[in-house]
Each structure stands twice: as C-alpha cells, then as structure tokens.
Amino acid sequence: MPSQRGRACDAIPSFLPGPGVNYERAEIREQVYAALAQLAPEHRAVIALKEIEDLHYHEIAEILNVSIGTVMSRLFYGRKKLQSILRPFLEQI
C-alpha cells in the first residue's frame, strides 16, 4: 500500500503567489509608476506622501508648506488624473 504521507503534503495549499501573480503585480506596479510620472509634480508629491508614505493631511501640509485645503484639493485632482490614466489598463485586467 502506498504511503499517504506524500499525498498529504500535496494536498496542503501553498500560500505563496505563483509566477503569474508575481508577473501581474510587477506589471501593475510598472503601470502605476508610469502613471504617477505623468502627473504634475505637486499632485505626484501629495499622492506619494498620502498613499505611499501614509501621512496625514496636516503632515503633508507641513512638509510641503501649503494649507490642508490645498493638500486635499491636490489629492482629489491627482487621484482623478491617475484614475483617468490607469482606466484603460485596468479595463484589460
């Protein structure tokens, strides 16, 4: 009778992403960075500080020496522009 031990290991799911997932993530990251590069510098800075660095509005305002309202406005318009740039790519996946 064959050992059940080998089969049990085969039945344990892997939680590591496969090569297809890694490729897809790399492509998404590349598209996002390319889209960020197309933004105006003031929009790119606010989005990077908020979304990548995870800073609060008041921290971003202090770093950039602008008002919180300006941070909010730049974030809003930067996100809208980013969304319009990425829409064609996202519709493909």
Judged by DSSP in three states, 40 sits in coil
Backbone angles phi, psi at 14, to 5 degrees: -90, 135
Task: pLDDT tens for the chain, 93 residues: list them.
Answer: 555 555 555 566 667 667 777 778 888 889 999 999 999 999 999 999 999 999 999 999 999 999 999 999 999 999 999 999 999 988 887
pTM: 0.71
- Identify the CATH assignment for 22-92 out of 1.10.3720.10, 1.10.10.10, 1.10.8.80, 3.40.50.10790: 1.10.10.10
Q: Is the dihedral of CA 22, 25, 29, 35 positive or negative?
A: positive
CA distances from 14 to 7, 17, 20 (A): 14, 8, 14
CA distances from 69 to 17, 53, 64 (A): 41, 19, 12
Identify the CA nearest to 65 among candidates 51, 49, 84. 49
